[in-house]
Amino acid sequence: MECSFFLKESKRVAFLLLVFVLSGLMLQGCHDSDAPTSMNSKNEVIIHTGDTQGTTYLIKYHEAEAVPQSAIDSVLEAVDVEFNLWRPDSRINAINAFSHRDSLFTFVDENGLWSSIWAQSLDLFEASEGAFDPTVQPLVELWGFGLRKRSEVTPMAVDSALMHVGMTFENIDLNEVERDRNYQFTTVRKRNPRTCLDFNGIAQGMTVDLLTDMLEERGVKNYMVEVGGEVKCGGNRMDGKPWRIAVDRPTEPVDGDYNREMQTVMNVSDAAICTSGNYRKFYEMDGIKRSHTISPFSGYPVQHGLLSATVHATSASTADALATACMVWGPKDGKQFILDYRNANPFDRVEAYFISDDGEGNWANWVTPGWQALTAIEIQE
């Protein structure tokens, strides 16, 4: 079975999901101050925008008091300092650099983010049979961003990198140390010194969940939160209807520019919708467009034509990771994986939408049985 791991870089452009506002609540200009766009929170939509994790974020809510920008910044900084591979002082970079077999990397997980992301990642690693794998970093590093090192990669180097991939006890393990049932500190043991972590397949989704948790704790019930294209919505829009989120249609660049077109528009309420895929950064082989995806099983670029996988789920971290796993499995095995996961985890409310290259110059679409019930607008070809 040929599989793949989606190369989801932290500095990617959020082009796969577009927050499409069909209720007439369009943004009026841009925002770059520390305060929300609107402070009349009981009567107007409040908007926060900015940069984070090498991409952008957008938060909209209404019928609530304005949330201080500092509260949003605190959540974003907490995630960034732990998991951003582009940040030299991040915890993940320190763990990746740690290379001792006979000692432990010890730290205090003040916000509980490591225990949360580790537990979720381990569950999804096992559920996906390794398709979702945060230890893929050695392969990502080997092939380079956008496969830019493709011409330099040798079979020997691939075999060497594969020896360090796998979220298993033999490679790397995380534990919490308690005393009298009180948390003391967290340890990471690297039995394989060259095993490294990359949570880009789940971290943005987790960030969205953390932001929505913070909003709900402050009494916000109707909101839309988007980070790098990963979205979660609570309640409804100002007009009482569900939030509407659009999925982009794969388009070819014209003179280097993309003409963004919608593939479909979904109703999203009290759920998340996340997309994995990089069909605008593909290479062509045997007449089929292939995404810049690396297989953690073969160690080579993917050999299937799945261009994007959009997943609806209760939490953004689940939707994000499942979409990543689908890009691993490809169109055929990805369908079965999603259907099996969906049946085994009904409370996650999982639905999916695949866009593939059929090998004949056409897009092939596939959806789970419940996807049509979420569809707000069918886009005609």
Domain that holds residue 130: 74-189
Question: Both 207 and 342 in a single domain?
Answer: yes
**Residue partners of 249: CB distance under 8 A and separation at least 6:** 261, 262, 263, 355, 363, 379
Question: Both 143 and 247 in a single domain?
Answer: no
From residue 310, how far is each of 263, 316, 335, 338, 340 by CA, in Å?
A: 11, 12, 12, 11, 16
As a whole number, mean pLDDT of residues 206-212 equals: 98
User: What pLDDT score does 363 carry?
Assistant: 82
Question: Both 117 and 157 in a single domain?
Answer: yes
Q: Model confidence over 319-368: pLDDT tens digits?
A: 999 999 999 899 999 999 999 999 999 999 999 999 998 777 778 899 99
Q: Is 37 a residue whose pLDDT tops 70? A: no
Task: Please give the helix or strand (H or E) that residue 264 lies within, else none.
Answer: strand 262-268
Greater model confidence, 358 or 30: 358
- Name the DSSP letter for residue 242: P
Question: Both 151 and 205 in a single domain?
Answer: no
Question: Both 205 and 342 in a single domain?
Answer: yes
Give the count of beta carbons closer than 10 Å to the beta carbon of residue 237: 21
Is 322 inside a domain boundary? yes
> Looking at residue 174, which CATH number applies to its domain?
3.10.520.10
Question: Both 175 and 208 in a single domain?
Answer: no
Is 44 inside a domain boundary? no
Q: Is 136 a residue whose pLDDT tops 80? A: yes
Question: Both 338 and 311 in a single domain?
Answer: yes
Number of domains in the chain: 2
Phi-psi region of 144 (alpha: psi -120 to 50; beta: other; left: phi over 0): left
Please, what is the angle between helix 69-83 and helix 203-217, to 10°?
150
Question: Both 83 and 136 in a single domain?
Answer: yes
CA–chain centroid gap for 267, Å, is 20
Report the amino acid identity of residue 13. V
CA–chain centroid gap for 238, Å, is 27
Read off the pTM: 0.86
Report the amino acid identity of residue 307. L
**Residue partners of 263: CB distance under 8 A and separation at least 6:** 246, 247, 248, 249, 250, 353, 355, 365, 379
Question: Both 347 and 295 in a single domain?
Answer: yes
Please, what is the angle between helix 316-344 and helix 113-127, to 10°?
30
From residue 262, how far is each of 205, 265, 266 by CA, in Å?
A: 22, 7, 11
Give the count of beta carbons closer than 10 Å to the beta carbon of residue 164: 19
Q: Are strands 230-234 and 271-276 parallel, antiparallel or unpaired?
A: antiparallel
Question: Both 84 and 142 in a single domain?
Answer: yes
CA–chain centroid gap for 297, Å, is 21
As a whole number, mean pLDDT of residues 311-326 equals: 96
pLDDT tier, 300 (very low <50, low <70, confident <90, very high otherwise):
confident
Question: Both 79 and 161 in a single domain?
Answer: yes
Residue 42 near residue 221, CB atoms below 8 Å: no
Q: Model confidence over 172-198: pLDDT tens digits?
A: 999 999 999 999 999 999 999 999 999
Question: Both 151 and 84 in a single domain?
Answer: yes
Is 316 inside a domain boundary? yes
Is 53 inside a domain boundary? no
The mean of the pLDDT values for the chain is 84
